[in-house]
């Protein structure tokens, strides 16, 4: 039994030394790293003192009672200091720390140089004197204050990730401290000294938990924790078995098994760590992408606001230019020479084109900002289309194509619920679109009622440039234009149909295009629900 205890404590010492070396290898500039090293060193001294307690030769050389009690008190004090530095430095006054250091120095002095706390040793026992209560209470105070600081850090944690980390830091030390105090602080007070060797083993739990918390990767992930714990337990168990072999062959076989298990455990832990690292990288990229996307959305909103402002400001001067050009052409400001009249006509046409473009951009910015307003009312759809055709008659005559509009004769009620101006803009856009892309031939517009679907259907069929099959799915998107359309009309922007679709959607209707291919004309279809009497 004695040999087993010595072996277990030796393994504890090895583990603690390795962990402290790993932390120190990351740099000693961090105060948390330094305190952890001192904390681990104190635990190692405590374990060495317990080994001396169970080793006859060492017990006469080393004053194990002084070492165990001094190192145990130092562990509790360093734990308190550590909690003020990790995970984050607490902004607190140095006065309480300095004040708490004074009783530590006093108690250590009494342990080293007096018998006020610990008396004479007798084999595996020692005397408890009246100062022992003060020693025990001070140790409990240090641990309690440390846990209070950790709870304070938990409360101040800004993210769930930080809260989980602090919670993990609290769990290990509180379990270790609670278990170690019983055999090493309470039992000796009642004369029970047979279980003091358990204290250093429990302190290993505290050292390991703090090491895990200080690691760069998020080891508080349950998958990593379980993998490491299971691997360490298996390796330690196999290592202990080496001390109880009965033959050299058994020793060699168990040593080989230990090496293989340790090697594959290392690979397993490394693989899990890589998985966690990759997951964190993906999470980081996802977070960066989310931030970038939010920024792009904000920039798009600002762009829409700018376009709305700019186009709104342009409408005033353009309206004035168009008005004065119209007055000049109509002769209200005097007769124009032939050459001047041609120039003014170009100005008028260009101004009309620019006004249409500005209106399209203004409508798009309003749609994207959700600022497009609709004044719905009961509208006679047939009358509205006839008004649009009348207003576009100059363009129809100028196009030089045969244009017809017919409405189903047996339908008297063409009422719909709509914003008259917006709907008028849609039909003007669709008709004007056919005029622009029909160099010759005819354009036939019809308005009917599909009683099967209970919808009004407006169709405009032309013999123009047509639409390629691959273009049709993208026709109503922003800035989408067919290649042959660009050749026929270079002034188009690819915005009119997009605006028309958005407006028709707001009216709970549909708009679509059909074509047999390039050079075979096209058909645009608008469907709207009829007005229903309440």
Name the class of domain 292-369.
mainly alpha
Predicted confidence (pLDDT) per residue in 137-153, tens digit: 999 999 999 999 888 88
Distance CA(48)–CA(200), nearest Å, equals 9
Are the C-beta atoms of 212 and 232 separated by less than 8 Å? no
Helix 64-83 / helix 198-214 crossing angle, nearest 10 deg: 30
Are the C-beta atoms of 445 and 493 separated by less than 8 Å? no
CATH of 2-216, picked from 3.30.70.1290, 1.20.810.10, 1.20.1070.10, 1.10.287.130, is 1.20.1070.10
Are the C-beta atoms of 454 and 417 separated by less than 8 Å? no
Residue 69: pLDDT over 60:
yes
Give span(s): CATH 1.10.287, the chain.
292-369
Give span(s): CATH 3.30.565.10, the chain.
377-528
More confident residue, 212 or 38: 38
User: Mean pLDDT across the stretch 409-415?
Assistant: 75
Give span(s): CATH 1.20.1070.10, the chain.
2-216
First CA to last CA across the chain, in angstroms?
96
For residue 75, name the pLDDT band (cuts at 50, 70, 90): very high
Residue 400: pLDDT over 80:
yes
Strand locations in 299-411, DSSP E?
A: 377-380, 402-407
User: For the chain, what percent of residues have pLDDT higher than 90?
Assistant: 20
Predicted confidence (pLDDT) per residue in 347-378, tens digit: 877 777 777 667 766 666 777 667 678 889 99
Residue 103: pLDDT over 60:
yes
CATH of 377-528, picked from 3.40.50.10300, 3.10.20.30, 3.30.565.10, 3.40.50.10470, is 3.30.565.10
For residue 218, name the pLDDT band (cuts at 50, 70, 90): very low
Predicted confidence (pLDDT) per residue in 36-61, tens digit: 888 988 998 998 888 887 777 666 66
Q: What is the pLDDT of residue 217?
A: 42
More confident residue, 494 or 249: 249
Q: What is the pLDDT of residue 488?
A: 53
The mean of the pLDDT values for the chain is 81
| DSSP letter for each residue of 67-114 | HHHHHHHHHHHHHHHHHTTSSS-----HHHHHHHHHHHHHHHHHHHH-
Q: Is the peptide bond before 87 cis (omega within 30 degrees of 0)?
A: yes
User: How many degrees, rounded to 5, is the angle at CA 74 between CA 48 and CA 133?
Assistant: 105
Q: Facing residues of 445 across strands?
A: 405, 460
For residue 447, name the pLDDT band (cuts at 50, 70, 90): very high
For residue 3, name the pLDDT band (cuts at 50, 70, 90): low
Q: What is the pLDDT of residue 485?
A: 54
Q: What is the pLDDT of residue 182?
A: 92
Q: What is the pLDDT of residue 25?
A: 56
pTM of the model: 0.47
């Amino acid at each position: 039994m004695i040999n087993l205890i010595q072996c277990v404590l030796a393994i504890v010492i090895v583990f603690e030394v390795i962990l402290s070396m790993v932390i120190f290898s990351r740099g000693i500039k961090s105060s948390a790293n330094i305190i952890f090293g001192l904390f681990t060193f104190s635990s190692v001294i405590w374990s060495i003192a317990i080994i001396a307690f169970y080793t006859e030769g060492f017990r006469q050389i080393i004053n194990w009672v002084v070492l165990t009690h001094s190192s145990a008190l130092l562990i509790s004090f360093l734990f308190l200091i550590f909690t003020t530095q990790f995970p984050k430095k607490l902004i607190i006054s140095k006065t309480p720390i300095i004040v708490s250091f004074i009783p530590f120095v006093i108690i250590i002095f009494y342990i080293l140089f007096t018998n006020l706390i610990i008396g004479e040793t007798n084999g595996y026992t020692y005397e408890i004197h009246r100062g022992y209560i003060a020693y025990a209470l001070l140790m409990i105070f240090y641990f309690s204050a440390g846990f209070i600081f950790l709870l304070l850090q938990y409360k101040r944690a800004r993210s769930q990730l930080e809260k989980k980390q602090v919670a993990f830091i609290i769990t290990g030390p509180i379990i270790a401290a609670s278990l170690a105090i019983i055999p090493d602080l309470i039992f000796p007070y009642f004369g029970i000294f047979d279980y003091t060797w358990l204290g250093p083993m429990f302190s290993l739990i505290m050292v390991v938990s703090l090491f895990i918390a200080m690691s760069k990767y998020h080891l508080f992930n349950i998958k990593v924790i379980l993998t490491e714990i299971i691997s360490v337990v298996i390796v330690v168990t196999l290592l202990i078995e080496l001390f109880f072999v009965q033959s050299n062959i058994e020793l060699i076989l168990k040593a080989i098994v230990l090496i293989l298990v340790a090697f594959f455990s290392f690979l397993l832990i490394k693989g899990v760590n890589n998985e966690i690292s990759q997951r964190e990288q993906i999470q980081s990229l996802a977070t960066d992408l989310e931030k970038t996307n939010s920024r792009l959305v904000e920039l798009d909103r600002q762009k829409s606001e700018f376009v709305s402002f700019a186009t709104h400001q342009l409408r005033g001067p353009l309206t004035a230019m168009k008005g004065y050009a119209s007055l000049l052409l109509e002769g209200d400001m005097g007769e124009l020479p032939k050459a001047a009249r041609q120039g003014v006509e170009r100005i008028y046409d260009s101004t009309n084109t620019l006004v249409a473009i500005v209106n399209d951009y203004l409508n798009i910015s309003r749609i994207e900002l959700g600022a497009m307003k609709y004044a719905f009312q009961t509208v006679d759809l047939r009358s509205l289309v006839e008004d649009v055709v009348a207003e576009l008659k100059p363009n129809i005559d100028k196009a030089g194509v045969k244009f017809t509009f017919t409405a189903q004769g047996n339908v008297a009620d063409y009422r719909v619920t709509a914003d008259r101006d917006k709907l008028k803009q849609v039909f003007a856009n669709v008709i004007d679109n056919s005029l622009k892309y029909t160099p010759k031939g005819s354009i036939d517009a019809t308005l009917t009622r599909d009683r099967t679907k209970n919808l009004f259907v407006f169709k405009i069929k032309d013999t123009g440039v047509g639409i390629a099959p691959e273009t049709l799915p993208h026709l109503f998107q922003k800035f989408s234009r067919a290649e042959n359309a660009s050749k026929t009309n270079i002034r188009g922007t690819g915005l009119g149909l997009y605006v028309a679709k958005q407006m028709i959607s707001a009216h709970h209707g549909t708009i679509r295009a059909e074509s047999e291919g390039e050079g075979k004309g096209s058909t645009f279809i608008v469907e709207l629900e009829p007005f229903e009497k309440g």
